[in-house]
């Protein structure tokens, strides 16, 4: 290993990421217990508020009988109350998530200090940073929105992403090619990481939307709430991704003397931008709502994942410095 690499810090970084994976998995179990036993099952509004067909018509002549018809059956089984221990498990999961988040951040920082550069110059470092961004987006939004129910799915996604990076993408800390020694990596790649983290959060909500069935009671929020969170996450992340694409073009001009060269990474970054723009356009102008809009968002999410992972594995180009192990 090159002498300029601090091997001690590099090893510490790897150990911190491994510990982070374990913490995310334990947090996921806590969130799952709260989701299963600490939340009251809810159905659609029509299910929760039954109304008798003739209640309004005969209200003046038979108000008492109409009132009796809308009352729930006394013998209808009620959903069990939330378990106190499950709610506590969810609280512990939140604490573990913050600890794992700190471990993830420490792993990124120690690797960057070990090699004296921005620590997202290869696929391993990039995926580790995206997982950190996704969890950061979840924790920040959780302080403003009641989205703790997403904890199990976000923690599992982060654990799987970090596990994939450790098992299949890990490369030893070391120097990078001269093209990456630029302040543009702090601008372009950071913006792409932040936007990707938010897009992942939106993708998780979109998948849960398809899983959720509003005709049956569920511990998940309604499809309407899931769609709302999906839309808000995309609205926030889309301008950031737009900035990342523009900054990438400006960096390309500085590095290679042209803004656009039809490199596979450039093409798929633009395809991803078009896909998310199509989602926002369809929702804002054509009034697309519900399943149709969610499917468009998932198509865009698939484009994002292929741009982040697939392009570096299956294509060669000017962005082939991602150091994917063979």
pLDDT of 53 reads: 42
pLDDT of 57 reads: 42
Using CA atoms, how far residue 218 sits from 6, 212, 223, in Å, is 51, 8, 11
pLDDT of 4 reads: 80
Supply the angle between the helices 190-211 and 123-142 in degrees, to the nearest 10.
60
**222 — pLDDT class (breaks 50, 70, 90):** confident
pLDDT, tens digit, 9 for 90 and up, residues 31-73:
999 998 887 776 654 444 444 444 444 444 444 444 444 444 4
Nearest to 153 by CA among 35, 54, 61: 35
- Comparing 186 with 65, which gets the higher pLDDT? 186
Contact 244, 191 (CB under 8 A): yes
Share of the chain above pLDDT 70, in %: 82
**91 — pLDDT class (breaks 50, 70, 90):** very high
pLDDT, tens digit, 9 for 90 and up, residues 257-298:
888 888 888 899 999 999 999 999 998 887 788 889 999 999
Number of C-alpha atoms within 13 angstroms, CB side, residue 171? Answer: 21
**302 — pLDDT class (breaks 50, 70, 90):** very high
pLDDT of 297 reads: 95
pLDDT, tens digit, 9 for 90 and up, residues 235-244:
999 999 999 9
DSSP string for 130-192:
HHHHHHHHHHHHHTTS--GGGHHHHHHHHHHHHHHIIIII--------GGG-STHIIIIIHHH
Average pLDDT of the chain to the nearest whole number = 83
Residue 260: both structure tokens together: 């656009």
pLDDT of 231 reads: 94
pLDDT of 217 reads: 66
288: which DSSP letter?
A: -
**320 — pLDDT class (breaks 50, 70, 90):** low
Q: What is the helix, strand, coil percentage profile of the chain, to 5?
A: 70, 0, 30
pLDDT of 75 reads: 47
Beta strands in 10-125, from DSSP E residues, in sequence order: none
Helix (H, G, I), strand (E, B) or coil at 307: helix
């Amino acid at each position: 290993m090159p002498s300029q690499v601090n091997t001690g810090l590099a090893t510490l970084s790897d150990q911190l990421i491994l510990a982070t994976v374990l913490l995310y998995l334990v947090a996921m179990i806590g969130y799952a217990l709260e989701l299963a036993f600490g939340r009251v099952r809810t159905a659609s509004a029509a299910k929760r508020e039954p109304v008798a067909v003739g209640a309004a018509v005969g209200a003046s002549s038979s108000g008492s009988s109409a009132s009796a018809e809308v009352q729930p059956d006394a013998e209808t089984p009620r959903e069990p109350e939330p378990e106190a221990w499950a709610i506590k498990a969810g609280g512990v999961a939140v604490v573990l998530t913050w600890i794992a988040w700190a471990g993830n951040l420490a792993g990124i920082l120690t690797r960057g200090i070990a090699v004296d550069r921005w620590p997202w110059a290869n696929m391993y470092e990039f995926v580790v940073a995206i997982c950190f961004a996704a969890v950061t987006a979840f924790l920040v939004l959780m302080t403003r929105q009641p989205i703790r129910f997403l904890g199990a799915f976000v923690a599992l996604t982060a654990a799987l992403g970090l596990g994939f990076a450790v098992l299949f993408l890990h490369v030893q800390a070391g120097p990078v090619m001269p093209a990456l020694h630029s302040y543009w990596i702090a601008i372009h790649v950071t913006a792409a990481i932040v936007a990707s983290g938010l897009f992942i959060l939106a993708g998780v909500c979109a998948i849960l939307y398809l899983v959720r069935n509003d005709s049956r009671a569920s511990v998940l929020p309604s499809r309407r709430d899931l769609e709302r969170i999906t839309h808000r996450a995309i609205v926030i992340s889309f301008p950031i991704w737009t900035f990342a694409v523009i900054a990438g073009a400006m960096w390309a001009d500085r590095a290679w003397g042209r803004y656009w060269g039809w490199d596979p990474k450039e093409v798929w970054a633009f395809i991803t931008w078009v896909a998310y723009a199509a989602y926002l356009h369809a929702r804002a102008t054509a009034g697309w709502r519900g399943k149709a809009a969610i499917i468009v968002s998932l198509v865009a999410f698939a484009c994002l994942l292929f741009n982040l992972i697939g392009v570096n594995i299956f294509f060669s180009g000017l962005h082939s410095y991602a150091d994917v192990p063979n």
